[in-house]
Amino acid sequence: MSPKDLKFALNAIQWINVKEDPSDLDSASLWRFADPAFVSEYPDVLREIKDAGFSATMLEVLDTQTLQSYAKMIADAGLALAPGYAEVPLPSDHGGRLEKGTFERIHWFDSIRRKAEESNFVGLDTIFVAAEVDQAGVRWQKPAIGYDFSQDRLDEWTEVLDEAVDVLNSEGVRPGLHNHVGTWVETQHEYEHVLNSIDASRLGASFDIGHLEWAGIDAKAAIAKWADRVQDLHVKDLDAELSRRTREEGLTYERATDLGLYREPGLGDLDIVDTLSALPEGFDGWIIIEVDRATMDPTASARHTAAWLADVTA
């Protein structure tokens, strides 16, 4: 499918995932969505996304704002919204397995209900669902190789996801499985096991082509294989040599990011346009571009990305 026939949005992540001191790779990494002060800066970020040339951004409501204030902020920026993102944590990572039907098990999905509410409030009917990111976890330290694999753990997470899918479906929101390096679902076996375990009528596929390639998976082939279930995508560019070093030399997720793994589209080694050509004709899902760590000022990064997009969709 041609890029000119697709709809694109930009994730605000290059303003969010930053170094405390950009000139010092060993300085602290910040996740600014968690900073209570960021809510006052968010409108300016959205305006910069709009001014760069994008008409849509990814749904991301801060914990420090209401749905109403978020919707007004988006409207004021003149942006449309693309599907948001939900993490489904594994109970055994947080103290033990939870029996179905128990008080604790039912409340386990409260955050998923919130995500369904957000999606419905802004008129979206799809969402990305992924395993939980744990920056203290073993896979964050040894990413992209399926480290410490356990079929029992994967089965447990698939069962928990199955309930999360029910919660979302019951609210009219269709989830798409999202692979994410550094989580319990990062390899081909892992995401295919989940997709094969949960019916296609209930769960789609919402791949991240950068995370597929980082894990050594051919993203174009993955999209072609699961074309009937692909509903939305995350798109990012990568330094292929760094992704190889991560797998073969054991770079941590954090170190690979700090060394420049992520690139603006067209500045890395992935053939994004060729990968997207595997999408079936008539595909009407969202393509959300992400630059997880900008190689330049975030605003310049957004403008470069918009210019790349204008070029490939001309």
Left if phi > 0, otherwise alpha if psi is -120 to 50, otherwise beta: which for 13? alpha
pLDDT of 24: 84
pLDDT of 144: 98
Q: Where in the chain are the domains?
A: 84-301
The rounded distance, in Å, linking the Cα atoms of 248 and 216 is: 11
**What's the pLDDT tens digit per position in 154-169?**
999 999 999 999 999 9
**How many other β-carbons are positioned within 10 Å of the β-carbon of residue 150?**
11
The rounded distance, in Å, linking the Cα atoms of 132 and 129 is: 9
pLDDT of 164: 98
Q: Contact 137/131 with Cβ under 8 angstroms? A: no
- Name 127's Cβ contacts closer than 8 Å, sequence gap at least 6: 83, 84, 85, 86, 115, 116, 119, 168, 173, 174, 175, 176
Superfamily name and number for 84-301:
Divalent-metal-dependent TIM barrel enzymes (3.20.20.150)
The rounded distance, in Å, linking the Cα atoms of 49 and 160 is: 36
**What's the pLDDT tens digit per position in 179-211?**
999 999 999 999 999 999 999 999 999 999 999
Low-confidence ranges of the chain (pLDDT < 50): none
Four-CA torsion 262, 266, 268, 269, nearest 10 degrees: 140
pLDDT of 30: 87
